[in-house]
Structure 1
Amino acid sequence: MKGLHLTADLYRCRCEPAWLTDAARLGDWCLAAIASVGLVPVQHMFHTFPRTGDGPGRVSVTVLLAESHVCLHTWPQERSVTCDVFVCDVGGDLSAQARGLMTALVERFQPEWTEQRSLDRGEEA
């Protein structure tokens, strides 16, 4: 069950506002980014939450991978995003793919600053 879990909290994102509010647009882009690093999506859900008194609704994008999962959650009123990429080393080391995907996600949102973490999960067999 060895794997790599990457997280990033993105603040004051300078991307186009639609990337924070349009679940279908963000989800479709995310599927393409996943494929571009060689990971395999097997199921997905893209959801836009209702508008609130604070502004447009948040977006959640979740993609189940053959190798594990990717989750994104946006806070448009704060121009913030959380990103979660987890890959299990099924058939080999997938850390380069996970890191490549996280780089693409961060670049998509153009944050002023990020807080990123990396966690090695499980044990060697």
Structure 2
Amino acid sequence: MSQDALFQLGMDSVVLNTAQKEENTTAQPAPAVCDDKDHFIEKNGVLCAGSHFIVDLFEAERLDDLPYIQQTLVDCVNAAGATLLHIHLHPFEPNGGVSGVAVLAESHISIHSWPERNYAALDIFMCGDAEPERCIDVLQRAFSPGRIDVQELLRGRSA
């Protein structure tokens, strides 16, 4: 990628703390999708594109531990039966917060953490046969939140 393209993406001035490196992991390409299946699901009698969970973790731990967060996202993907395409995590200084995304064949899991407030915001959206609700237990075990708020949205609902 050229320097101009990186500049347009706002990536030319990223400076990482030498103690904390940005993680960039790529998995194997996803298998081809059959043309006759659009991966919409039926949930609670509703035809939709998939389930989108909005997750807030309060009084949570290890929200500045980049390798741990990466492994937790992988554990979420595996628990949900999803297909990992790529993980990109970025640490922020000086507070150690982390922003990132696990890109899935079925959509994504994203995280943004504020370790100085023991808070993290996550999005978990999946279509097809994946079971995104299984990520909630993984997050609870991994980050030991004192409180967790979960909202589920059914995306692309048929009218």
* Range class of TM-score, shorter chain: 0.7 to 0.9
What corresponds to 1:5 in structure 2?
52
Pairwise CA RMSD of aligned residues? 1.6
1:20 and 2:58 correspond: no
Q: Which residue of the other structure, out of 77, 80, 85, is the alignment partner of 2:116? A: 77
TM normalised by structure 1 equals: 0.79
Q: Which runs of 5+ in 1 are unaligned?
A: none
What corresponds to 1:47 in structure 2?
90
Alignment of 1:23-34 (within 5 A): 23-34=66-77
Q: Which runs of 5+ in 2 are unaligned?
A: 1-39, 41-48
Q: Deviations over 1:46-85 (max 9, x none)?
A: 111111xxxx221113100000000111111101111110
Residues 80 and 133, structure 2, Cα contact 8 Å, conserved in 1: no
Q: Which runs of 4+ in 1 moved over 2 A?
A: none
Q: Report SS of the residue matched to 1:21.
A: coil
Q: Percent identity?
A: 26
Q: Which moved more, 1:59-68 or 1:108-117?
A: 108-117
Higher helix share: 1
Shift of residue 113, structure 1, vs aligned partner: 1.2
Distance 1:59 1:104 in 2: 18
Comparing both chains, which one has the higher relative contact order based on Cα–Cα distances under 8 Å and sequence gaps of 6 or more? 1
Q: Report SS of the residue matched to 1:5.
A: strand
Larger Rg: 2
